[in-house]
Chain A
Amino acid sequence: MRGVRPVVEVVRLGLVSYPEALRLQQVYVDRHRSGAAHALLLCQHPPVYTTGLRHAPYPAALLDRLRLLGAAVHRTNRGGLITFHGPGQLVCYPVLHLAGFKKSVRWYVCELEKTIVSVCSRFGIEASTSPHTGVWVGDNKICAIGIHCGRYITSHGLALNCNTDMSWFGHIVPCGIEGKGVTSLSAELQRDVSVEETIPHLLDAFGERFDCRLTDAQTETDSRGSSA
């Protein structure tokens, strides 16, 4: 007889700064210590460039140049290289305990990719994966992925371009991959696709792919129909 599907609490943070989102992720990571309490944080960030565990390619001088553009800059301990987060981009941080799913980071990242491919397909966009982690429409990346895993607890996550101002990506080699571009749901469909419109599709696809039950956290914004 199959086990009960894991429950994942959806937490809609709205527009939050990157450091604030890191702080909140840590709260949910710590929460796992007192029993499985998976969470899915949804948010948008003010413009910010972030780098990962491999920070050697990004010296302080380069990061300072990015700050002059008016963006924040953060070094992190996630996997993946440099990327951009900003308004119009749906950022999703699943804080899961992989013991409740499958204890394989490779499996987890693959399932995240498949979730986004499914979201794109619901919009009529044919997306795909490649040896470069992330989700692509042709040669253009529509969703970046960068994860951290400690004691099977995941943090960081994915960033799906909905109606992001793509010009911010022009100042970096996104994820360190030369010769490829970036795209968004809006760019692919030639109409405005907002983060709000995308969220229900992401939650549906995530629930299906990870075979879990999503619940909404009771927050103040929920009562008015939250926007992330």
Chain B
Amino acid sequence: MAACGQFRSLSSNFFTVLPLLTRSVPLSPLRLASKPYFGRTLATSSRLTAALKFTDKHEWIRVEDDGIGTVGISKFAQEALGDVVYCGLPEVGTQLAQQDEFGALESVKAASELYSPLTGEVVEVNTLLADNPGLVNKSCYKDGWLMKMTIGNPKELDALMDEAAYERYIRSIED
């Protein structure tokens, strides 16, 4: 347990202090140098595989270079939930069809179900969330990732929203 704790604080320092060196951050160094950063928009990398796609249930998936998808919930979702106190995540090896329930997040005495954005197999879950579920609120696109999965059917990605479409979707809900 102590070793885990040390690892946790080491890795979170690593992410916050040295963001440009981590592959999972979507910002590309080239883009940062050439354009000013505009507040609310997530900067997308010039590499298409690192762009976020969103579901209408406010989950995001980011396909990494190795073809594995990292899954989390959006800023809109974590705000609508409130402070997350518990993450119920699947076992590694779980087979999921698109839209299958894969877990739940608990906040304000409410358990909200999570739905798989794609068909695939769970290859990793974010064990940091066991001791630090608040990461889902504090860093929903980075340290608060929920699980990683294989992409069984890449065509399913086409049906998901890109960042611009998702921003429009949120605005339409908020009206």
Q: Which residues of A contact B (CB under 8 A)?
A: 52-54, 77-80, 103-110, 133-134, 145-151, 175
Contact = CB atoms under 8 A, between A and B. Distances in A.
B69 to A, nearest CB: 21
22 contacts: A53-B88, A53-B104, A53-B106, A79-B109, A103-B80, A103-B173, A104-B79, A105-B82, A105-B108, A105-B110, A106-B80, A106-B107, A108-B110, A109-B82, A109-B108, A133-B109, A146-B110, A147-B110, A148-B113, A149-B111, A151-B57, A151-B115
B106 A54 contact: yes
A79 B111 contact: yes
B157 to A, nearest CB: 21
Contacts of A147: 109-111
Nearest to B173: A103
B167 interface: no
Given A52-B111, A105-B80, A149-B111, A79 B57 contact: no
A79 B108 contact: yes
A148 B112 CA distance: 6
Categorize the interface residue count of chain B: 10 to 19
Interface of B: 57, 79-82, 86, 88, 101, 104, 106-113, 115, 173
A104 B80 contact: yes
A151 B80 contact: no
Contacts of B88: 53
Contacts of B81: 104-106
Contacts of B112: 105, 148-150
Nearest to B112: A149
Contacts of A150: 101, 112-113
Given A53-B106, A77-B104, A148 B111 contact: yes
A79 B80 contact: no
Nearest to A83: B109
